[in-house]
Every structure is written in C-alpha cells, then in structure tokens.
C-alpha cells in the first residue's frame, strides 16, 4: 500500500513536469486523473481528497507557468484547465463509488462462501449424528470426510506414545498406515509428508488423529479447521451415550437381581408365617390342650407379630412390582364403600386396644374401576397410619364421598401431624413421616396405588391439630351416590 501511495505521488510530480514543459494547447493535465483513480480504488476517501487537492494545485501551478512562458493567459487554456479540474472531482467520486461497490460485492461473495461452508458443515454434522458408538462414529467420519473432501483415503488413527495404536478406522479397507509417526503439535490442522505420502492431518485429540491422503478439494484446510471442534463434541457425546448404555445395562441387571431377591424372600417368608399362624390359632382354640392365661396372651402377641410380617411381605411384593414397571392385573368394578368398611372391621382390635372412636361417613355404594387387593392395601395403610398416631382415647374420622366424577376418601386423626420440613418426602420410600412410625412403605405404596388407578393422594394439616390424608380416585360411569348418612363405629 505504501508503494502504491508513493507511485501516485510520483505520478503527480511527473505529470506536473510534463504539463509545465508542453504548450497550453495540449491538455496534459488530464493525466492527473490516473493517480486520483488509483488512490480512490486503493485508499480511504480522506487520502483520495488529499491527492485530488494536490492535483488541483499542480494543475493551477502548471497553468500559471504555461501562461508565463506563452506571454499571457489564453481563454481556451483557462477553459481546458477548469474542465480538467472538474474532471478531477468526477473521477475521484466515481472511483470511490466503484471501490465501495467492489468492497460490498466482495463482502457478499465472502458471505456466500461462509454460508455455503456452514451449510456443508451442518450437513456433515447431521450425517455423523445419531445414536452411534465411538467406534461407529470414527468409522463413519472416515468414510464421510473421504467422500466430501475428495481424498484418496481417510483414516482415524489412535496414537500410543510414539507409535500408531492397534485399531485403525480407515477407508478404503486395507489402507496402510505410514511407517512414520507425526510429531506432536498444537495446530489442530496441518499438512504433513509421512513416509513420502502427502496428508492433511486433523488432531481430534492428542492421542487421536484424522489423516486424509491426497486431498483434491480446494479450501479443505479452513473447512477441516471448523469441523474438528464439531467432531470432538460428537465423539464426547458418543462416549457419553456408550457409558450411559453400559450403566443402564448394569442398573437393569442389578434391579432384576434385587427384584428377584425380594420376590423370593417375600414368597419364602409367607409360607412359614402362614403355617406358624395356623398352629398358633389351633393352640388358642384348644387343639393342643388347655393353656394358661399367660401362655394364651403370648400366643396372641405372636399372632399379631406374625401378621405384621405377613403384611410386610405383601408390601415388599407390591414395591417390587411398582419399581420394576411390571404390567398390573386388569381392573374390575369394585364397591369402595365395602372395602372401607371391611378395612375398618379388620382393624377393630387396634381401635379397641388404643381406645379410639372411629366415625365413618359413607354413601350406600360407590363404584370405582380398580384392583381389589391394591385398593384394600391403600385403605388399610391409611387407617393403620391414623390408628398408630392418633392419641389414645381420641377420635379418627373417615369420609367417603363421590362428586364431580371422583371418589374422595379422607382419613383424619388428632395425632402430632407431619413437620413441614419432611412433607415433601412424605410419600417416598422409607420416609420417616412421623415420630415412632412404621416401616416407611405404607404412604409410599398408597401414592403408587392411587396414581396407578389414575388418582392422587395428598396430606393436609388439620385445623386444631392432627393430620388429614385425602385420596381421589376416578368414579366408574355407573357409580351412584345414594346418601351420605353417618355410620358410627365406636370401639
């Protein structure tokens, strides 16, 4: 650029000398337009204005010297000088516009090339995307890049120290790695000659190189420089996908083992427990002779403990089924009122033992579509929860009502309630919901059962103290609420 500026200045000087040495009739000053046009096309408008000003001064100076040599001013010469000066401005203006148009055209072409390269890069990334293992990705990368960059061969080759690694992902098949190994470099893309062969080398990782032999496509180096980061990201994604697949396989296997152990444990536990319960009942009925009162009391305690273990086995089986995602048995139409009343009757011994009064409010019949064993477990878990935490001698209230297509079961007690800090995990496995209590499966199973029937369960803080659990289940189409008279049960 400096050389061009110097040439333009010399041209001004040369034209000035030629203009001074020629008669006024010759319009040599028109040649001042040459350095003006050169500067306008190559330099800034400010520099062009400076050159135009110099040309005007040179034109004026040469005109004065010509007039002195010719013995006076010539009207024709003055007109020629004026028109020439005007041409300076026109040439400068037109040349600047041409330079700007040329610059805009160059920018448009550059943007077109950039857009085309981005489109090609995006297409290549799409071709290499998908649920691929790292090995599949590297094999496909070699094949796609060989075709796109018009190379004789392409390979992704691992490095092991100063030697090639054992696994080569190459196309065409049978491609031989060069004997020479490239030296380490910080450049992501470079051209190499290895063992007399010409390669374009892309460094995916320090220990993983992409070799493209005898590339014929122009502009391959900048294109590959943009592609290498995308390849690195795709390889990281493929490795993450493969790792997650391995972990998923291991997790599935472990879950299967745990589920099988729970099934086996629960099944094997039930058989001796049932036999044990039968023997204890026979003893209480006098099948083995007269028993002392203390012995009968111990047998009754043993029966209760035995029943707790049976219920635990049943709950573990349900947990295993829900956690494994097994298909549930088909549903049938059930009378929810009957299930609630049976569950209350089943816990009559617990109500009596703790001196609890149970108030039940139900319609005559309320039908839902469900699985009887699961819904019975849901109702029993809520009632058992209330019985365990209600203060001795207090009241437990149970409401069952049908409204807006939903059956709502509410169980309320006057126990200590649930602290605010643990309410979020109240319905999770093995959560300790209230002091003193349970195996941590009852409310979890209640939620699982309710949700598997298209319903929900929630906890509400009861005004005046205590807890209120509400379960909502979809009513069957033909369910009819007849009345909501209270049925009092006092134990």
**CA distance readout (Å), 328 to 263, 310, 322, 407:** 16, 21, 9, 21
% residues pLDDT > 70 (the chain)? 86
Multiple choice CATH, 134-243, 1.10.150, 3.30.450, 3.30.70, 1.10.3470: 3.30.450
DSSP SS3 for 441: coil
The torsion angles phi and psi of 50, rounded to 5 degrees, stand at -60, -45
| Domain residue ranges in the chain | 2-111, 134-243, 271-323, 329-490
Q: Are 368 and 475 in contact (CB under 8 A)?
A: yes
CA distance 219 to 211: 16
Task: Give the 3-state secondary structure of 416-431.
Answer: CCCCHHHCCCCCCCCC
pLDDT tens digits along 243-279:
888 888 888 777 676 666 666 666 666 667 777 777 7
Q: Residue 488: which pLDDT band, with cuts at 50, 70 and 90?
A: very low
Interval 58-79 mean pLDDT: 78
86's tokens:
């005007």
Q: Are 311 and 438 in contact (CB under 8 A)?
A: no
Q: What is this structure's pTM?
A: 0.47
- Rg from Cα positions in the chain: 47
**CA distance readout (Å), 35 to 52, 58, 89:** 9, 12, 13
CA distance 368 to 310: 27
pLDDT tens digits along 416-463:
888 888 888 888 876 655 444 455 678 888 888 899 899 999 998 888
Cis peptide before 172 (omega within 30 of 0): yes
Q: Are 392 and 355 in contact (CB under 8 A)?
A: yes
Multiple choice CATH, 329-490, 3.40.50.970, 3.40.50.300, 3.60.15.10, 3.30.565.10: 3.30.565.10
pLDDT of residue 324: 65
Of the candidates 407, 446, 409, 404, which has an alpha carbon nearest to the alpha carbon of residue 429? 446
Q: Residue 11: which pLDDT band, with cuts at 50, 70 and 90?
A: confident
CA angle, 242 then 246 then 251, to 5°: 145
7-16, 381-390, 402-411, range with the lowest pLDDT: 7-16
Interval 161-187 mean pLDDT: 87
Interval 270-299 mean pLDDT: 78
The torsion angles phi and psi of 185, rounded to 5 degrees, stand at -150, 150
pLDDT of residue 434: 47
Bridge-based pairing of strands 357-361 and 395-403 is parallel
């Amino acid at each position: 650029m400096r050389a061009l500026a110097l040439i333009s200045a010399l041209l001004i000087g040369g034209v000035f000398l030629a203009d001074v040495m020629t008669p006024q009739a010759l319009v040599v000053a028109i040649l001042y337009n040459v350095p003006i046009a050169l500067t306008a096309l190559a330099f800034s408008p400010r520099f062009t204005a400076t050159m135009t000003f110099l040309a005007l001064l040179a034109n004026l100076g040469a005109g004065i010297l010509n007039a002195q040599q010719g013995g006076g001013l010539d009207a024709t010469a003055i007109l020629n000088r004026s028109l020439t000066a005007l041409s300076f401005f026109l040439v400068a203006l037109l040349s600047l516009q041409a330079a700007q148009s040329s610059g805009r055209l160059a920018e448009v072409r550059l943007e077109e090339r950039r857009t085309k390269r981005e489109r090609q890069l995006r297409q290549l990334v799409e071709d290499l995307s998908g649920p691929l293992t790292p090995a599949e990705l590297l094999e496909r990368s070699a094949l796609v890049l060989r075709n796109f960059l018009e190379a004789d061969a392409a390979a992704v080759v691992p490095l092991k120290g100063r030697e090639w690694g054992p696994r080569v992902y190459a196309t065409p098949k049978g491609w031989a790695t060069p004997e020479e190994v490239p030296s380490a470099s910080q450049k992501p893309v470079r051209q190499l000659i290895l063992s007399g062969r010409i390669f374009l080398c892309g460094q995916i990782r320090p220990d993983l190189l992409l070799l493209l032999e005898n590339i014929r496509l122009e502009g391959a180096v900048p294109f590959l420089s943009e592609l290498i980061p995308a390849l690195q990201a795709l390889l990281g994604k493929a490795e993450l996908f493969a790792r997650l697949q391995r972990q998923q396989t291991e997790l599935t296997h472990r879950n299967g083992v745990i589920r099988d152990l729970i099934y086996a444990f629960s099944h094997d536990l039930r058989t001796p427990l049932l036999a044990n319960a039968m023997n204890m009942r026979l003893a209480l009925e006098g099948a083995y002779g007269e028993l002392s009162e203390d012995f009968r009391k111990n047998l009754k305690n043993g029966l209760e403990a035995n029943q707790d273990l049976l219920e635990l086995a049943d709950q573990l089986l349900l947990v295993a089924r829900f956690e494994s995602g097994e298909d549930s048995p088909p549903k049938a139409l059930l009378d929810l009122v009957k299930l609630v009343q049976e569950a209350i009757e089943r816990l009559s011994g617990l109500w009596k033992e703790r001196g609890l009064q149970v108030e039940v409010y139900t319609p005559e019949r309320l039908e839902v579509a469900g699985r009887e064993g699961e819904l019975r477990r849901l109702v029993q878990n809520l009632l058992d929860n209330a019985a365990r935490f209600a203060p001795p001698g207090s009241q437990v209230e149970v409401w069952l009502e049908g409204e807006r297509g939903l059956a709502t079961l509410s169980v309320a007690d006057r126990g200590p309630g649930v602290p605010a800090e643990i309410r979020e995990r109240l319905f999770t496995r093995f959560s300790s919901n209230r002091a003193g209590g349970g195996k941590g499966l009852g409310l979890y199973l209640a939620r699982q059962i309710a949700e598997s029937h298209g319903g929900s369960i929630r906890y509400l803080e009861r005004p005046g103290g205590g807890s209120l659990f509400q379960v909502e289940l979809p009513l069957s189409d033909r369910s009819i609420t007849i009345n909501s008279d209270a049925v009092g049960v006092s134990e």
